[in-house]
Amino acid sequence: MERWVEETLHRGFRVRLKADRVLFDSETEHQHLVIFENEDFGRVMMLDHVVQLATKDDFIYHEMMAHVPLFAHGRAKKALIIGGGDGGVLREALKHPELEDITLCEIDRSVLTLCREHFPDISAGAYDDPRTRIVIADGTKFVAETDDRFDLIMVDSTDPIGPGAVLFTKEFYTGCRRCLKPGGILVTQNGLPFLQADELKQSVGFFRGLFRDAFAYLATTPSYFGGPMSYGWATDYVEARRYRIDAIERRYADAGAFPTRYWRPDVHVASFALPNYIRELVE
**Which positions are catalytic?**
156
Q: State in angstroms the smallest separation of the CB of 247 from ligand SAM.
A: 28
In whole angstroms, give the CA distance from residue 246 to residue 75: 17
CB of 137 or CB of 247, closer to ligand SAM: 137
Helix (H, G, I), strand (E, B) or coil at 68: helix
Per DSSP, what are the bridge partners of residue 184?
A: none
Q: State in angstroms the smallest separation of the CB of 177 from ligand SAM.
A: 17
- Identify the CA nearest to 108 among candidates 28, 39, 41: 28
Check: CB of residue 131 under 8 Å from CB of residue 64. Answer: no
CB of 65 or CB of 185, closer to ligand SAM: 65
CB of 9 or CB of 234, closer to ligand SAM: 9
Residues lying near ligand SAM in the complex (CB under 6 A) are found at 47, 52-53, 61, 82-86, 105-108, 111, 138-140, 156-158, 163-164, 166-167, 189
Q: What are phi and psi of 108, to 5 degrees?
A: -115, 105
Residue of minimal Cβ distance to ligand SAM: 83
Residue 202 burial (CB count, 10 A): 18
CA count, 13 A, side-chain hemisphere, 115: 31
CB of 85 or CB of 184, closer to ligand SAM: 85
Check: CB of residue 201 under 8 Å from CB of residue 167. Answer: no
Burial class (CB in 10 A: 0-12, 13-18, 19+), 232: buried
- Identify the CA nearest to 152 among candidates 216, 228, 249, 237: 237
CB of 221 or CB of 235, closer to ligand SAM: 221
Check: CB of residue 54 under 8 Å from CB of residue 47. Answer: no
HEC letters along 211-225: CCEEEEEEECCCCCC
CB of 157 or CB of 235, closer to ligand SAM: 157
Check: CB of residue 217 under 8 Å from CB of residue 4. Answer: no
H or E element at residue 101: strand 101-106
Q: State in angstroms the smallest separation of the CB of 117 from ligand SAM.
A: 14
Q: State in angstroms the smallest separation of the CB of 244 from ligand SAM.
A: 29
Q: State in angstroms the smallest separation of the CB of 175 from ligand SAM.
A: 11
Q: State in angstroms the smallest separation of the CB of 167 from ligand SAM.
A: 5
